[in-house]
A and B are shown apart, each in its own frame.
Chain A
Amino acid sequence: MGRQRIGYFEDLQDPEHICSRCHMCELICTFHHHQVGNPKRSRIRLISLDKGVDVPVTCLNCEDAPCMNICPTGALYRPESDGMVTVKEDLCIGCAMCVNACPVGAITLDPVDGMAVKCDLCGGDPQCVDYCPANVLKLTDAERFARHRMRGFVKSLQASGEEG
């Protein structure tokens, strides 16, 4: 098992398996971490574009994580070699360098206490994955993701074969 992260798996052929914009992931994330309701503090954020495009975005758990590399105090670190980059809150000074560096915007400053917050996989049992009604959020790693893409590719081959 490689480095894990929360992946978004949609199936454009099956409407039930596309994010349904319910924001449950945000709600349950904030509830799990802060025991309140407030999606703005969530570590996973749902991005809605026009024409019904909704994609939840959270930490990609990069190998050479820019947030971790740029952190001046070492508040961002990997406790285990394969694990998630986590925030050591007593070291974080809220300088927002990580916010500046992260390529996907997965790390931000908490609007309430000002510390850097990012996905920590809820210690191995991610709540958003648990609660996602469309089952599009899954705990995944690079290998699994590759397999998913392969499966999609084979399916598309099949489909084109049938048509042909």
Chain B
Amino acid sequence: MRIFFHAERCMLCQSCVLACQMNSIGVSEVTEIPRDGRPLQRMAFIFSHGTPWVWRCQQCLSAPCVEACVTGSLRHGEEGNGVVHDRETCVGCGSCVLACPFDALTPDENDDRVTKCNLCPEEEIPPCVKACQSGALAYQDPRLFAQDKRKKFVRDQKVHRETD
């Protein structure tokens, strides 16, 4: 399971980022946000050539960061589910930051460690996906994600033909 992003459905509202930040400081309601909160940067919203993109860890299956990690605090999750980062053993050496092709690991501002998206294992659906109102973020198996795309493709094709 991973987080996928449908750029065409995104309404640029950035609720996902807010939800991620709120999760990182441990609040679930916007009214509870403390004034001096310092959230972790695990997800961000960027524009790339005019297309919106939700920047986050891609949870690579043979992740360079895991190979680069000197303490073994980055490892692959069970059943190939994501890359797990263990805060306790992380020494913040930054090797992973150098290795990651997506720059998805950032220094944790609160201490000398790095942080990354861990797919919020304590939740059934990651809060960012839950916060997305337009369905632009999807928490899915890559296989199902591709399958849905194919289905959409076939449906579009058929509609196109029927209206020809």
Contacts and interface: CB of A to CB of B under 8 A. Distances in A.
B63 A93 contact: yes
Describe B's contact surface by its main secondary structure: helix
Given A95-B60, A95-B102, A97-B58, A49 B150 contact: no
A105 B149 contact: yes
A134 interface: no
Interface in A96-126: 96-97, 99-100, 102-109, 111, 114-115
B143 A109 contact: yes
Contact of A105 (B2, B59, B102, B150): B150
Describe A's contact surface by its main secondary structure: loop
A142 interface: no
A132 interface: no
A104 B158 contact: no
Contact of B154 (A53, A72, A102): A53
A94 interface: yes
Contact of B58 (A47, A95, A106): A95
Given A94-B61, A95-B58, A96-B58, A105 B153 contact: yes
A107 B2 CA distance: 16
Contacts of A104: 149-150, 153
A55 B61 contact: no
A124 to B, nearest CB: 24
A128 to B, nearest CB: 15
A99 B61 contact: no
B26 interface: no
B46 to A, nearest CB: 14
B2 A96 contact: yes
Contacts of B142: 96, 99, 108-109
B77 to A, nearest CB: 12
Given A49-B154, A57-B154, A100-B5, A95 B101 contact: yes
Most buried by B among A96, A102, A107, A111: A96
B158 A105 contact: no
Given A47-B151, A100-B145, 16 more contacts: A47-B150, A55-B154, A57-B153, A93-B64, A95-B61, A95-B102, A97-B58, A99-B4, A99-B145, A100-B4, A103-B153, A105-B145, A105-B147, A105-B149, A109-B61, A114-B61
Lowest 10 CB-CB distances: which A-B pairs, in order? A94-B61, A105-B149, A72-B101, A114-B61, A108-B146, A105-B146, A105-B150, A95-B58, A95-B60, A104-B153
14 contacts: A47-B151, A55-B158, A93-B101, A96-B59, A96-B60, A99-B4, A99-B145, A100-B4, A103-B149, A104-B153, A105-B151, A108-B142, A108-B145, A115-B62
Interface of A: 40, 45, 47, 49, 53, 55, 57, 72-73, 92-97, 99-100, 102-109, 111, 114-115
